[in-house]
């Protein structure tokens, strides 16, 4: 059942977390250079972990409960990634003195939105299956 809507949402989340960090800057350091995720192994690892977790979640379509749990774990991972991004950009840039934050810092937020939409669709499918089981 890979043709469900949550597959589309999870695929978008995987593409956003796996591809966009290579093209969008995260923030600007004190020397005025743009920082990309591929330059820092921590950021790269967290982005790739989120993308891989989304792809794994897609292929667990027969186990909706596991799919839902992995979606929640992916949301937590993206919140941790967002926290690390904000912390690192504030520490490196000197806090309030730096006004240049890259658009790449919004990538975890976009992933969170799509994973939450996928979890909502998974929950709806699970409720539908439970209601049909009651009729049997």
Q: Give the chain's domain count.
A: 1
Length of the chain: 136
Domain span including residue 114: 5-135
- Provide the CA 71 distance to its chain's centre, in angstroms: 9
What's the whole-model pTM score? 0.86
Q: Pick the more confident residue, 100 or 37.
A: 37
Task: Give the DSSP letter of residue 97.
Answer: G
- pLDDT given at position 106: 87
Q: Pick the more confident residue, 54 or 85.
A: 54
- pLDDT given at position 28: 74
- Asked if pLDDT for residue 92 goes beyond 70, the answer is no
Q: Mean pLDDT across the chain, nearest whole number? A: 85
- Asked if pLDDT for residue 104 goes beyond 70, the answer is yes
- pLDDT given at position 98: 46
Span 36-63, average pLDDT? 90
Sequence-distant (6+) residues with CB within 8 A of 84 are 42, 43, 46
- pLDDT given at position 38: 84
Of 5-14, 86-95, 101-110, give the lowest mean pLDDT range. Answer: 86-95
Task: Give the DSSP letter of residue 28.
Answer: E
Sign of CA dihedral 131, 132, 135, 136: negative
């Amino acid at each position: 059942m890979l043709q469900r809507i949550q597959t589309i949402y999870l695929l978008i989340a995987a593409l956003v977390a796996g591809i966009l960090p290579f093209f969008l800057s995260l923030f600007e350091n004190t020397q005025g250079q743009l920082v990309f995720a591929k330059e820092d192994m921590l950021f790269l690892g967290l982005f790739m972990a989120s993308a891989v977790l989304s792809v794994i979640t897609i292929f667990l379509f027969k186990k909706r409960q596991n799919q839902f749990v992995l979606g929640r774990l992916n949301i937590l991972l993206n919140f941790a990634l967002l926290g690390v991004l904000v912390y690192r950009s504030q520490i490196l840039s000197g806090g309030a003195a730096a006004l240049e934050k890259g658009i790449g810092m919004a990538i975890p937020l976009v992933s969170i939105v799509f994973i939450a939409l996928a979890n909502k669709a998974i929950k709806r499918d699970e409720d539908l299956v439970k209601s049909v089981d009651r009729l049997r």
